[in-house]
Copies of this chain bind each other. A is one copy, B any other.
Amino acid sequence: MNIMQNFKKIAIVGVGLIGGSIGLAIRTRRFSCKVIGIGRRKTSLDKAVQKSAIDKGTLDIQAGVMDADLIIIAAPVDQVREKIIEAAKYAKKGAIIIDVNSTKQDIVKIAESCLPKDIFFVGTHPMAGSEKSGVTSSEPGLFNDTVCIITPTRHTNKDALGKISAFWEFLGAKVKYMSAKTHDTIVARVSHLPHILSYVLCNTVSAKELAVAGSGFKDATRIAKSSSEMWEEIFLQNQKSVLKAITLYERNLRAIKSDIAKKNKQGLSEKLRTAMRKRANLD
Protein backbone atom coordinates (compact mmCIF):
# COMPACT_ATOMS: atom_id res chain seq x y z
CA MET A 1 0.00 0.00 0.00
CA ASN A 2 3.08 2.23 0.29
CA ILE A 3 2.94 3.04 -3.36
CA MET A 4 -0.54 4.51 -2.96
CA GLN A 5 0.84 7.10 -0.58
CA ASN A 6 2.33 8.85 -3.60
CA PHE A 7 -1.17 10.02 -4.39
CA LYS A 8 -2.26 12.53 -1.77
CA LYS A 9 -4.67 14.14 -4.19
CA ILE A 10 -6.36 12.50 -7.13
CA ALA A 11 -8.30 14.45 -9.75
CA ILE A 12 -10.90 12.65 -11.85
CA VAL A 13 -11.81 14.55 -15.01
CA GLY A 14 -15.24 13.22 -15.99
CA VAL A 15 -17.17 11.59 -13.19
CA GLY A 16 -19.36 9.14 -15.11
CA LEU A 17 -19.61 5.38 -14.80
CA ILE A 18 -15.84 4.77 -14.93
CA GLY A 19 -14.68 7.95 -13.16
CA GLY A 20 -17.28 7.48 -10.44
CA SER A 21 -16.42 3.81 -9.99
CA ILE A 22 -12.72 4.68 -9.60
CA GLY A 23 -13.65 7.15 -6.86
CA LEU A 24 -15.86 4.61 -5.11
CA ALA A 25 -13.21 1.87 -5.42
CA ILE A 26 -10.67 4.18 -3.76
CA ARG A 27 -13.08 5.05 -0.94
CA THR A 28 -14.11 1.44 -0.33
CA ARG A 29 -10.46 0.57 0.16
CA ARG A 30 -10.24 3.29 2.81
CA PHE A 31 -7.40 4.98 1.06
CA SER A 32 -7.17 8.42 2.60
CA CYS A 33 -6.28 10.60 -0.37
CA LYS A 34 -8.40 13.51 -1.47
CA VAL A 35 -10.48 12.88 -4.58
CA ILE A 36 -11.59 15.86 -6.67
CA GLY A 37 -14.10 15.43 -9.46
CA ILE A 38 -14.08 17.74 -12.46
CA GLY A 39 -17.20 17.80 -14.59
CA ARG A 40 -19.42 19.86 -16.85
CA ARG A 41 -22.63 19.73 -14.86
CA LYS A 42 -22.96 20.72 -11.24
CA THR A 43 -25.86 18.30 -10.73
CA SER A 44 -23.71 15.30 -11.75
CA LEU A 45 -20.91 16.42 -9.47
CA ASP A 46 -23.36 16.84 -6.59
CA LYS A 47 -24.60 13.30 -7.19
CA ALA A 48 -21.01 12.06 -7.19
CA VAL A 49 -20.36 13.77 -3.85
CA GLN A 50 -23.60 12.38 -2.41
CA LYS A 51 -22.56 8.91 -3.52
CA SER A 52 -19.09 9.44 -1.97
CA ALA A 53 -17.44 8.84 -5.33
CA ILE A 54 -15.57 12.14 -4.90
CA ASP A 55 -14.87 14.44 -1.94
CA LYS A 56 -15.49 17.61 -3.87
CA GLY A 57 -16.58 18.61 -7.35
CA THR A 58 -15.61 21.54 -9.51
CA LEU A 59 -16.46 22.78 -13.00
CA ASP A 60 -13.02 24.39 -13.24
CA ILE A 61 -10.44 21.97 -14.60
CA GLN A 62 -7.54 24.26 -13.63
CA ALA A 63 -8.61 24.44 -9.99
CA GLY A 64 -9.34 20.71 -9.97
CA VAL A 65 -6.07 19.38 -11.31
CA MET A 66 -3.54 22.01 -10.20
CA ASP A 67 -2.13 20.27 -7.15
CA ALA A 68 -3.14 16.69 -7.97
CA ASP A 69 -0.52 13.93 -7.93
CA LEU A 70 -2.65 11.77 -10.18
CA ILE A 71 -5.01 13.06 -12.86
CA ILE A 72 -7.42 10.54 -14.36
CA ILE A 73 -9.03 11.53 -17.64
CA ALA A 74 -12.36 9.69 -17.69
CA ALA A 75 -14.16 12.17 -19.93
CA PRO A 76 -16.48 11.18 -22.80
CA VAL A 77 -14.59 9.60 -25.71
CA ASP A 78 -14.75 12.66 -27.95
CA GLN A 79 -13.26 14.91 -25.26
CA VAL A 80 -10.36 12.79 -24.02
CA ARG A 81 -7.73 14.44 -26.23
CA GLU A 82 -8.61 18.02 -25.31
CA LYS A 83 -8.92 17.14 -21.63
CA ILE A 84 -5.43 15.61 -21.61
CA ILE A 85 -4.04 18.75 -23.24
CA GLU A 86 -5.90 21.00 -20.80
CA ALA A 87 -4.95 18.95 -17.75
CA ALA A 88 -1.30 18.96 -18.84
CA LYS A 89 -1.39 22.74 -18.97
CA TYR A 90 -2.39 23.08 -15.32
CA ALA A 91 -0.82 19.96 -13.78
CA LYS A 92 1.96 20.44 -11.26
CA LYS A 93 5.48 19.12 -11.87
CA GLY A 94 5.76 15.40 -11.32
CA ALA A 95 2.04 14.76 -11.76
CA ILE A 96 0.96 11.62 -13.54
CA ILE A 97 -1.88 11.76 -16.07
CA ILE A 98 -3.69 8.60 -17.14
CA ASP A 99 -6.66 8.03 -19.41
CA VAL A 100 -9.17 5.17 -19.44
CA ASN A 101 -10.15 5.40 -23.09
CA SER A 102 -11.22 2.41 -25.21
CA THR A 103 -8.77 3.25 -28.00
CA LYS A 104 -5.11 3.93 -27.39
CA GLN A 105 -2.97 4.73 -30.44
CA ASP A 106 -4.33 8.24 -31.05
CA ILE A 107 -4.55 9.12 -27.38
CA VAL A 108 -1.04 7.99 -26.49
CA LYS A 109 0.42 9.81 -29.49
CA ILE A 110 -1.33 13.07 -28.60
CA ALA A 111 -0.45 12.81 -24.92
CA GLU A 112 3.22 12.17 -25.60
CA SER A 113 3.44 15.01 -28.09
CA CYS A 114 1.82 17.62 -25.84
CA LEU A 115 3.07 16.78 -22.35
CA PRO A 116 6.03 18.65 -20.81
CA LYS A 117 8.91 16.43 -19.66
CA ASP A 118 8.11 16.78 -15.96
CA ILE A 119 4.52 15.59 -16.31
CA PHE A 120 4.06 11.89 -16.99
CA PHE A 121 1.50 10.07 -19.05
CA VAL A 122 0.44 6.43 -18.92
CA GLY A 123 -2.25 5.05 -21.22
CA THR A 124 -4.62 2.65 -19.47
CA HIS A 125 -7.84 0.89 -20.37
CA PRO A 126 -9.82 -0.92 -17.69
CA MET A 127 -11.78 -3.68 -19.45
CA ALA A 128 -14.78 -3.05 -17.27
CA GLY A 129 -18.01 -1.28 -17.91
CA SER A 130 -21.68 -1.66 -18.25
CA GLU A 131 -24.39 -0.73 -20.69
CA LYS A 132 -25.36 1.91 -18.15
CA SER A 133 -23.70 5.26 -17.88
CA GLY A 134 -23.39 8.15 -15.47
CA VAL A 135 -22.19 8.38 -11.90
CA THR A 136 -25.48 6.97 -10.58
CA SER A 137 -24.54 3.62 -12.17
CA SER A 138 -20.99 3.60 -10.79
CA GLU A 139 -19.94 0.77 -8.50
CA PRO A 140 -17.01 0.29 -6.15
CA GLY A 141 -16.49 -3.29 -7.35
CA LEU A 142 -16.55 -2.52 -11.08
CA PHE A 143 -12.86 -3.36 -11.53
CA ASN A 144 -12.72 -6.47 -9.36
CA ASP A 145 -11.48 -9.48 -11.31
CA THR A 146 -11.23 -7.53 -14.52
CA VAL A 147 -8.22 -6.80 -16.70
CA CYS A 148 -6.70 -3.34 -17.02
CA ILE A 149 -4.58 -2.96 -20.15
CA ILE A 150 -1.65 -0.57 -19.84
CA THR A 151 0.08 0.60 -23.01
CA PRO A 152 3.58 1.88 -22.19
CA THR A 153 5.87 3.26 -24.90
CA ARG A 154 9.62 3.84 -24.91
CA HIS A 155 8.90 7.33 -23.62
CA THR A 156 6.91 6.13 -20.62
CA ASN A 157 8.48 7.00 -17.29
CA LYS A 158 9.26 3.74 -15.45
CA ASP A 159 8.46 5.11 -12.05
CA ALA A 160 5.09 6.46 -13.20
CA LEU A 161 4.35 3.13 -14.91
CA GLY A 162 5.04 1.25 -11.68
CA LYS A 163 2.81 3.56 -9.67
CA ILE A 164 -0.04 3.31 -12.16
CA SER A 165 0.19 -0.49 -12.33
CA ALA A 166 0.01 -0.59 -8.54
CA PHE A 167 -2.93 1.80 -8.63
CA TRP A 168 -5.02 -0.43 -10.90
CA GLU A 169 -4.10 -3.53 -8.94
CA PHE A 170 -5.13 -1.67 -5.81
CA LEU A 171 -8.54 -1.06 -7.42
CA GLY A 172 -8.96 -4.81 -8.02
CA ALA A 173 -7.82 -5.23 -11.64
CA LYS A 174 -5.20 -7.52 -13.12
CA VAL A 175 -2.74 -5.51 -15.19
CA LYS A 176 -1.65 -6.53 -18.70
CA TYR A 177 0.90 -4.64 -20.78
CA MET A 178 0.85 -4.31 -24.53
CA SER A 179 1.59 -1.73 -27.20
CA ALA A 180 -1.15 0.75 -28.08
CA LYS A 181 -1.32 -0.84 -31.53
CA THR A 182 -1.81 -4.37 -30.19
CA HIS A 183 -4.36 -2.99 -27.74
CA ASP A 184 -6.40 -1.42 -30.51
CA THR A 185 -6.36 -4.63 -32.57
CA ILE A 186 -7.36 -6.91 -29.71
CA VAL A 187 -9.95 -4.59 -28.25
CA ALA A 188 -11.52 -4.13 -31.67
CA ARG A 189 -12.23 -7.87 -31.64
CA VAL A 190 -12.99 -8.47 -27.97
CA SER A 191 -15.00 -5.35 -27.23
CA HIS A 192 -15.80 -3.13 -30.22
CA LEU A 193 -16.87 -5.99 -32.52
CA PRO A 194 -19.34 -7.52 -30.01
CA HIS A 195 -20.96 -4.11 -29.63
CA ILE A 196 -21.33 -3.72 -33.39
CA LEU A 197 -22.77 -7.24 -33.72
CA SER A 198 -25.20 -6.57 -30.97
CA TYR A 199 -26.45 -3.30 -32.48
CA VAL A 200 -26.78 -4.97 -35.89
CA LEU A 201 -28.70 -7.89 -34.39
CA CYS A 202 -31.27 -5.51 -32.90
CA ASN A 203 -31.67 -3.87 -36.29
CA THR A 204 -32.15 -7.23 -38.02
CA VAL A 205 -35.17 -8.11 -35.91
CA SER A 206 -38.40 -6.15 -36.20
CA ALA A 207 -40.12 -4.70 -33.16
CA LYS A 208 -42.97 -7.16 -33.65
CA GLU A 209 -40.61 -10.13 -33.82
CA LEU A 210 -38.87 -8.92 -30.66
CA ALA A 211 -42.07 -9.67 -28.75
CA VAL A 212 -41.10 -13.35 -28.64
CA ALA A 213 -37.42 -12.81 -27.76
CA GLY A 214 -36.17 -14.94 -24.90
CA SER A 215 -33.26 -14.62 -22.50
CA GLY A 216 -30.71 -15.70 -25.13
CA PHE A 217 -31.52 -12.74 -27.34
CA LYS A 218 -31.63 -10.41 -24.37
CA ASP A 219 -28.18 -11.42 -23.13
CA ALA A 220 -26.66 -11.32 -26.60
CA THR A 221 -27.92 -7.75 -27.05
CA ARG A 222 -27.57 -6.31 -23.56
CA ILE A 223 -24.60 -4.25 -24.74
CA ALA A 224 -26.77 -2.70 -27.49
CA LYS A 225 -28.31 -0.68 -24.66
CA SER A 226 -24.97 1.12 -24.30
CA SER A 227 -24.74 4.77 -25.24
CA SER A 228 -24.81 4.98 -29.03
CA GLU A 229 -23.01 8.33 -28.89
CA MET A 230 -20.09 6.84 -27.01
CA TRP A 231 -19.78 3.80 -29.24
CA GLU A 232 -20.11 5.76 -32.45
CA GLU A 233 -17.03 7.73 -31.37
CA ILE A 234 -15.12 4.60 -30.38
CA PHE A 235 -15.84 2.81 -33.69
CA LEU A 236 -14.59 5.84 -35.62
CA GLN A 237 -11.56 6.39 -33.39
CA ASN A 238 -10.53 2.78 -33.85
CA GLN A 239 -11.69 2.70 -37.45
CA LYS A 240 -8.88 0.67 -39.00
CA SER A 241 -8.86 -2.14 -36.43
CA VAL A 242 -12.65 -2.21 -36.24
CA LEU A 243 -12.97 -2.61 -40.02
CA LYS A 244 -10.44 -5.44 -39.95
CA ALA A 245 -12.32 -7.14 -37.13
CA ILE A 246 -15.61 -6.90 -39.06
CA THR A 247 -13.96 -8.34 -42.18
CA LEU A 248 -12.60 -11.26 -40.20
CA TYR A 249 -16.01 -11.81 -38.64
CA GLU A 250 -17.76 -11.67 -42.02
CA ARG A 251 -15.41 -14.39 -43.28
CA ASN A 252 -16.17 -16.66 -40.32
CA LEU A 253 -19.91 -16.04 -40.63
CA ARG A 254 -19.75 -16.90 -44.34
CA ALA A 255 -17.98 -20.17 -43.54
CA ILE A 256 -20.66 -21.29 -41.09
CA LYS A 257 -23.38 -20.15 -43.50
CA SER A 258 -21.82 -22.28 -46.19
CA ASP A 259 -21.78 -25.31 -43.86
CA ILE A 260 -25.47 -24.83 -43.18
CA ALA A 261 -26.26 -24.33 -46.87
CA LYS A 262 -24.36 -27.48 -47.83
CA LYS A 263 -25.59 -29.43 -44.81
CA ASN A 264 -21.91 -29.98 -44.01
CA LYS A 265 -22.48 -31.53 -40.60
CA GLN A 266 -18.82 -32.18 -39.89
CA GLY A 267 -17.67 -28.65 -40.69
CA LEU A 268 -20.55 -27.11 -38.75
CA SER A 269 -20.05 -29.39 -35.80
CA GLU A 270 -16.32 -28.63 -35.58
CA LYS A 271 -16.90 -24.89 -35.66
CA LEU A 272 -19.64 -24.97 -33.03
CA ARG A 273 -17.66 -27.26 -30.75
CA THR A 274 -14.54 -25.09 -30.96
CA ALA A 275 -16.60 -22.00 -30.11
CA MET A 276 -18.35 -23.74 -27.24
CA ARG A 277 -15.09 -24.94 -25.74
CA LYS A 278 -13.48 -21.52 -26.04
CA ARG A 279 -16.42 -19.83 -24.39
CA ALA A 280 -16.62 -22.39 -21.60
CA ASN A 281 -12.96 -21.73 -20.78
CA LEU A 282 -13.75 -18.06 -20.22
CA ASP A 283 -15.71 -18.66 -17.02
Contacts of A63 in B (CB 8 A): none
Q: Which positions 242-283 of chain A face chain B at CB distance < 8 Å?
A: 242-243, 245-250, 252-254, 256-257, 260-261, 263, 265, 268-269, 271-276, 278-283
In whole angstroms, how far apart are the Cα atoms of A231 and B98 in the complex?
45
A145 to chain B, nearest CB (A): 10
Cβ of B213 and Cβ of A282 under 8 Å apart? yes
7 closest residue pairs by CB, A with B: A228-B272, A202-B275, A199-B275, A127-B214, A224-B279, A194-B220, A216-B223
Cβ of A220 and Cβ of B217 under 8 Å apart? no
Contacts of A220 in B (CB 8 A): 194, 197-198, 219-223
**Which of A67-75, A111-119, A157-165, A203-211 lines the interface with chain B?**
A203-211
Cβ of A207 and Cβ of B281 under 8 Å apart? yes
A residues whose Cβ falls under 8 Å from a Cβ of B: 127-131, 146-147, 149, 176, 186-187, 189-191, 193-205, 207, 209-229, 231-232, 235-236, 239, 242-243, 245-250, 252-254, 256-257, 260-261, 263, 265, 268-269, 271-276, 278-283
Identify 14 residue pairs between A and B in the complex whose beta-carbon atoms are under 8 Å apart, listed by A's number. Answer: A186-B209, A187-B212, A190-B210, A193-B204, A194-B220, A195-B216, A196-B253, A202-B276, A202-B279, A217-B282, A219-B222, A232-B269, A243-B261, A246-B260
Given A189-B205, A203-B271, A204-B245, 13 further pairs, Cβ under 8 A: A129-B216, A194-B220, A196-B253, A197-B253, A199-B276, A202-B274, A202-B275, A202-B276, A202-B278, A228-B276, A235-B268, A239-B261, A246-B257
- The residue of chain B having its C-beta at the shortest distance from the C-beta of A130 within the complex is B215
Q: A236-B263, A273-B228 are in contact. Are A248 and B193 (CB under 8 A)?
A: no
A128 to chain B, nearest CB (A): 6
Contacts of A260 in B (CB 8 A): 235-236, 239, 242-243, 246
- The residue of chain B having its C-beta at the shortest distance from the C-beta of A199 within the complex is B275
Copies in the complex: 2
Q: A128-B215, A211-B147, A269-B232 are in contact. Are A226 and B261 (CB under 8 A)?
A: no
Cβ of A252 and Cβ of B216 under 8 Å apart? no
In whole angstroms, how far apart are the Cα atoms of A263 and B243 in the complex?
11
- The residue of chain B having its C-beta at the shortest distance from the C-beta of A248 within the complex is B204
Cβ of A201 and Cβ of B249 under 8 Å apart? yes
Cβ of A203 and Cβ of B278 under 8 Å apart? yes
Q: A190-B209, A223-B219 are in contact. Are A200 and B232 (CB under 8 A)?
A: no
Of A214, A215, A229, A256, chain B has the most CB atoms within 10 Å of the CB of A214
- The residue of chain B having its C-beta at the shortest distance from the C-beta of A249 within the complex is B204
